[in-house]
Amino acid sequence: MKKIISNDIVTLRSLEATDLDVLYQWENDSRLWTVSNIMAPSPKSYLWQYLQNYDSDIFNTRQLRLMITLTETAEPVGTVDLTNFDPFNNRAEFGIMIDQAQVGKGIGDAALKLTISYVRDYLGLFQLYALVPESNTVCITMLRKHGFTSSGLLKKWINHGTEIHNVEMMQLLF
């Protein structure tokens, strides 16, 4: 049986109860808090409640989180987030997180390619956009490789302790 959102490298799937431990690990990695707007550790009970009440209907919730798994093993290796979904203007904000142990293996590229096809061909969106700290050159390079272009610089946009970082706004128009 062919999976709907899958290629030889990764599969994008809905969140499941079995994702609790890996989500707990990622949500409590303070290195990611700057870009995820998290300000404190998340208890497992909170994440369990989130998983139990998770609604994957993007038209209802205006957001969608998909688990990135390796197609061959089904091992969770990251997440794709579509937020600020606007069905009237046919756009959504894109976010991606790849587990540190999996960075540099082409997983982000494969997941982004699938996401682009999904939002364009299935959801009928006209654009994706991403807000990326200008210091995250790896992500900016990956987005450009897939057709995203810079639409501007948001100055002093993300607070990271004693530093405030600029963010590059990037768009992909279909």
Q: How far apart are CA 18 and CA 20, in angstroms?
A: 6
Q: What does the pLDDT read at residue 69?
A: 97
Domain extents in the chain? 10-126
pLDDT in tens, the chain (174 residues): 456 799 999 999 999 999 999 998 888 776 666 656 666 677 888 888 889 999 999 999 999 999 999 999 999 999 999 999 999 999 999 999 999 899 889 999 999 999 999 999 999 999 999 999 998 899 999 999 999 999 999 999 988 778 888 999 999 999
Residue 34 vs residues 39, 79, 84, 145: alpha-carbon distances, Å: 8, 16, 18, 24
Q: What does the pLDDT read at residue 152?
A: 96
Would you say domain 10-126 falls under CATH 3.20.20.10? no
Q: What does the pLDDT read at residue 131?
A: 95
pTM: 0.90
Tokens 């992500």 — which residue? 139
Q: How far apart are CA 147 and CA 145, in angstroms?
A: 6
Q: How far apart are CA 162 and CA 140, in angstroms?
A: 24
